[in-house]
A and B are shown apart, each in its own frame.
Chain A
């Protein structure tokens, strides 16, 4: 009953996208009820727990905050997370649950990892199984996987309230939004997913690493006999579930979701893929539901999907097409019933090309830095798609919360541009878009490219930056460009040939991640505050409707044009040059 090979990738992609889009609506509406404090089963059953949280920490849930108080609360909370992750790494050799007696993490790496996890980037300069103790993974990384995701959701909800509120100062209570995100959304979903992942073979154990006697012993580096293999363990499934649901992406193990203990089967791969896009897609409906017009949310979701599908197609074709160099060596790269074929360097046999390309495109679209194949070994155009999706600003689904607030910024920009064309004061969802709003939106759209391009330019000039490059030629430039794209847009995946774990990159990428996160979140909260204070303008026949196919295409075009114009010169020096070299070498 195997389907013909040719159809399999298309059917897999269709089933996957359909599953995401179908589950987005109910989950999105559920989340809207949660944030609005309306009854939705779980928040009735767990109400006493929620109330205990507020009593214990002195939160008055009925009291709203203006945007500045909201921003201050968010920054305080994120600073605590940063300090915690940093401290745990620096002290892990004195703390319990360090079963493998790992030493303390050096300060620059600890700094990088702390920002990486607080900012929902999850860039990995650490190598999980050889760097971090079980305690650091649990109390540091797992916690930040939840809290950084919840932070993104709170900022988004505040922005949505800005549109909903009328002549108000307040945009909600940060502590309430945060608590509800964790209690009613992230934790229940993670529990279910973690359980399924364990059933597939993802490890979940506090035992020290296991040992196996090798069937065929081998000679080590210095000629010594090696007859045992280390089998790493740890509380992995619990962390991996939230790593995907929260669009975090930081691996429990060094190679992330390519590791057989982190992603053992095609089913675990599908479940994780679903988890990656689930909440970002569903939040579109949360947005629609809260502004009282589901079509508004659906329009943003469709604009995202419109960009996603062609990207997937190009990436898949580039990888399945294989490497012309392999062709010259007489290797069989054809796809047939017995082998996936294509460019299999840096890919796992169980995932082949289809699941690898799906994963690469979904994770780079969604600011989820996890990988199940090595992007550095992708064909130039395959790698280009991954890099460019990140550079679009992580708004194609994007991170939980952050993806949609980025897309809302683009929608405001699109409305503004349309307004300029017809000469009317632009309005979005009944709120007049004026100079202040456009200033904030410009910050949100311009800061990441500045971080990316400036960081890349400086790094390819400085010896400290150049010496980390692995691959020669344009591909080496791509490694650096990818690193800053990933850090500046809080994605977290890498062209991992770049030696990121050195002082220069730990600091430079750490700073890029920090500003890429908070310099966007704060202007957005300011935008929310300004919108909340405005009156709602009644709809008139001249109002631009923002749910129609025309607007959806227009919005997608604005995202694509901004992304293409900003990054084309840099991409031309990297993947595009490399692609042309291939054409030259095989002509």
Chain B
């Protein structure tokens, strides 16, 4: 199964942003195979992803510009992408709430620990 992120209705905001912002993009792939194309800058909010993309020696991720997360499900990865953009805005002074639905909290926490976010 291969779907491009903007085909998923809920993630349009992500796609819109990536269109407006200049620069490189990376592809994050969920356990189910959903692909999220987001700005590299946003992805680098995660320390783990930053290492994956910048570590010397040419790992597969930095060569292809895509990272697969076999242990993160699509909704969680989507939420994470939203968080990346929210975090960038927050860092640049736009103080809004980031809403987290209670039922995904636990899984999100696990992913955050993994991604060192």
Bound pair (A, B): no
